[in-house]
Structure 1
């Protein structure tokens, strides 16, 4: 199926409408959207290729036929579910995909902020602060008493927020978090910064610089949970024409160097361990296919077919696949980079890896015990890696200047 998809992508890129249409027809027949995990994965890539083909060159001529094929292949255009805060909290608890990063990061944060009476956490996260209640709970139990917590959440401004989507404003979310913190005797301030990854989160950096001028003796923690990969980047050049930069400038490296200049107490980077940065769509397709089988495989272990949550879960994966395959330029935000590449970027920016202690490892292992047996944990030098059936899924790293 991967080979057929790759051939189809090549045909679309070559504007070979006849071959592309033949391959799409074959794929549609062998990959029903309600089939096994591999068939559902292939069906999602089929929809993404149809979306790409309908936008490009001579392949536009079969857009209507492709649309008919897509109609039988389920609808990604089923609007993504917008979660209430309670729904989202329950949803992320279904799998270690996000909980792994929460557990590892919270352990590192608690250790790094020991002795500080005021902590400023900047949450660059795709899951809308769902990590924070657990951190607040842990801070409330500090032997020296709870600190003052300043929480800054980052909301994406350009309409390209990856799923899951939240059905409330960040202001309302912040009010709920402040009330929760009060119930745990943690004095808390909340603010939101509306920013965009397309300019390297420059608004976040600008406001943090201003904040640094007035904050004294405050621990600054920058918690990056699966959002840094939304900053534009490709393995062969950047978007000089789109953002007015020369091709040799990396927005990701610029962001990290600017972050380093703020002298943060701790930076955590948690992300998916894959590489979707190739400018070549066939290479991206192969990389994505060989990584995104994992969520389709895992879902069979914790959600029954036909359930609403499973529909939401697979729609989110489908959105990611379509973004990787069908979108280009500023619209393509799913630009994952490998753990090793992020580590090199951090070192180049003037950070050193902190590593995770035995307490953090025990915390993560305890969390994994609540899930199916396919999940695992491995230590890779200073990093922790979540695995599924031995394959890397998500990595967690912690860094200090």
Structure 2
């Protein structure tokens, strides 16, 4: 099921329900965050984004379109996978009964194993074996089928991009595609529609709210503002907290978006930060909150309190939600901007650092291991989307086109061209420790509202929350997809 930012906002002391007037006003403010005077510009952007998504879908279709079926009397080879269904109908229903038939469990397992075997063959330089498997996998892939068929299509694109010479062309997306306006729009869609991402951001908000409560001046350094969707829930929760404590003075809040001028993500989104900040300020004003938004362009090595505009007496919080994985590490640059940033942040002595990242190693792992990680991670993620989005929805097509580009980049590229460099929590914990941070565990009073929120919005018990060592893992069945943690 879908759930909006207003529905998912969790405030401290949420036993008391907000008044209907405040709730109505906040819902209206939420609608206004991205739908204001810039509607015409947004429509143009959306039109351009649609072309990008369509082009990627066409490429995927070219890659995965099944060959002509064999004559009816022909007998399939013993190890050949069943071909995926075609999608000629233009009126596909979103119900399970009218969705494309799924691969059998055995065929799905065989497809997944063949993907892994092909990755090993490529790593070993056995391109002939990889090409042979490609012909079989092509019949199992369907980017509009069930989750396993979609995964096969996505991961087959990554394999094709690694084969030399590729049999049907190279499908590696450019860095410009990965850092485009469409990237940020599809990212926001995923954050809104997937509980694993949405609840991770809510947990980050709770960590910041808890660490800064009762302070008259709050300063948030945000290294990945994106389209600002996280602040809809943050301001909603803060407004509710003020309603429950009418005698308390409303804090003055500063939000500073920190952008690295050398990052391709900044060069393609830098101008949008001001517009996002303007919308956040207006949203806060209408909710009765005082918020100032600013942008600072600095490389990690140049960050200090003066450059960031930190002031005495502020309660400083740092938001690193889905930010660190996009910053190059020691495998890309000897200067190791990732660890440099953490050391610089530690020197600021913030009250809290909120962190959310995907639980997958696509940074330093070797190709075959990286491919296996991606198969497990994206397989679970694509399956979880069946519980929140119709298979034939335009929103899902947009999100999955973006996920496919990310998956191909994380698997099929090397060096500086690989901008998707996630790590598992154990590695993040080691980095945070080396930078001088200590864990700041989520307290039960913060965890319970998140669990309650998941219980209230999920329609499928496959979504899980795993509490371990004071951090929260959000996942699908037995696979953790995102982890939220806080530090000091």
Q: TM-score, normalised by structure 1?
A: 0.82
1:192 pairs with 270, 295, 303, which one? 295
Q: 1:40 to 1:182 in 2, by over 3 A?
A: same
Q: Distance in 1 between matches of 2:184 and 2:339?
A: 35
What is the root-mean-square deviation in Å for CA atoms of aligned residues? 3.0
Q: Distance in 1 between matches of 2:178 and 2:353?
A: 37
1:278 pairs with 351, 364, 385, which one? 364
Contact 1:160 1:331 in 2 (8 A): no
2:169 pairs with 67, 75, 78, which one? 67
Deviation digits for residues 262-317 of structure 1 (CA, Å, limit 9, x no counterpart): 11111011111222223521110011111111111011112112210110121121
Q: Distance in 2 between matches of 1:277 and 1:389?
A: 25
1:145 pairs with 212, 229, 249, which one? 249
Q: Distance in 2 between matches of 1:173 and 1:359?
A: 31
Q: Distance in 2 between matches of 1:316 and 1:89?
A: 11
- 1:317 is aligned to 403
1:382 Cα deviation after fit = 1.4
1:95 Cα deviation after fit = 1.9
Q: Distance in 1 between matches of 2:411 and 2:346?
A: 33
- 1:174 is aligned to 277
- 1:107 is aligned to 206
Q: 1:125 to 1:256 in 2, by over 3 A?
A: same
Q: List runs of 5+ in structure 1 lacking aligned partners.
A: 54-58, 71-76
Look up the SS of the partner of 1:274 in the other structure. Answer: coil
Deviation digits for residues 352-371 of structure 1 (CA, Å, limit 9, x no counterpart): 11111222112211321212
Q: List runs of 5+ in structure 2 lacking aligned partners.
A: 1-110, 172-176
- 2:469 is aligned to 381
1:189-338 matched pairs, under 5 angstroms: 189-194=292-297, 201-202=300-301, 205-206=303-304, 208-211=305-308, 215-233=311-329, 238-239=331-332, 243-245=333-335, 250-338=336-424
- 1:73 is aligned to none
Q: 1:263 to 1:79 in 2, by over 3 A?
A: closer
Deviation digits for residues 76-121 of structure 1 (CA, Å, limit 9, x no counterpart): x999883898x97665332213221222111111111122211111
Q: Distance in 1 between matches of 2:179 and 2:346?
A: 39
The structure that is strand-richer by fraction is 1
Contact 1:152 1:193 in 2 (8 A): yes
Q: Distance in 1 between matches of 2:378 and 2:262?
A: 25
- 2:25 is aligned to none
2:130 pairs with 20, 27, 30, which one? 20
Look up the SS of the partner of 1:302 in the other structure. Answer: coil
1:339 Cα deviation after fit = 1.2
Q: 1:290 to 1:179 in 2, by over 3 A?
A: same
- 1:6 is aligned to 116
Q: Which has the larger radius of gyration?
A: 2
1:22-61 matched pairs, under 5 angstroms: 22-53=132-163, 59-60=164-165
Look up the SS of the partner of 2:353 in the other structure. Answer: strand
Contact 2:190 2:197 in 1 (8 A): no
Contact 1:121 1:150 in 2 (8 A): yes
Contact 2:203 2:450 in 1 (8 A): yes
Whether 1:82 and 2:182 are equivalent positions in the alignment is: yes
